[in-house]
Amino acid sequence: MKKPIMAIMYDFDKTLSTTDMQNYSFIPALGMTPDEFWGATGEFSKKTGTERILSYMWMMVKLGKEKGLPLTEKWFNSLGKEVVYYPGVEKWFKRINKYGKEKGVQVEHYLVSSGTKEIVDGTSIAKEFTKIYGCEFYYDPETKQPLWPKFAINYTQKTQYFFRISKGVTNVHDESVNNKTTSRRVPYANMVYLGDGMTDVPCMVLVKQNGGNAIAIYNKKDQANVSSLIKAGRVNYACLANYEEGSDLDQTMKLIIDKISLNYQMEKKEQQLLKKEMRGEKHVK
For 115-136, how does the pLDDT look when each residue is reduced to its tens digit (9 = 90+)? 999 999 999 999 999 999 999 9
Q: Give buried/exposed letters for 111-135 (b at 16+ CB in 10 A, else e).
A: bbbbbbbbbbbbbebeebbebbbbb
pLDDT tens figures, 206-242? 999 999 999 999 998 877 778 788 888 899 999 999 9
Please state, as a whole number, how many other Cβ atoms lie within 10 Å of the Cβ of residue 49. Answer: 8
pLDDT at residue 8, rounded to an integer: 98
Per-residue pLDDT tens over the stretch 38-88? 999 999 999 999 999 999 999 999 999 999 999 999 999 999 999 999 999
pTM of the model: 0.94
**Window from 130-139, 160-169, 270-279 with minimum mean pLDDT:** 270-279
pLDDT at 282 over 80: no
| 9 and 192 Cβ atoms separated by less than 8 Å | yes
Please say if the pLDDT value at position 247 is more than 70.
yes
Task: For the chain, give the mean pLDDT.
Answer: 94
In the structure, what pLDDT confidence band is assigned to residue 281 with cuts at 50, 70 and 90?
Answer: low
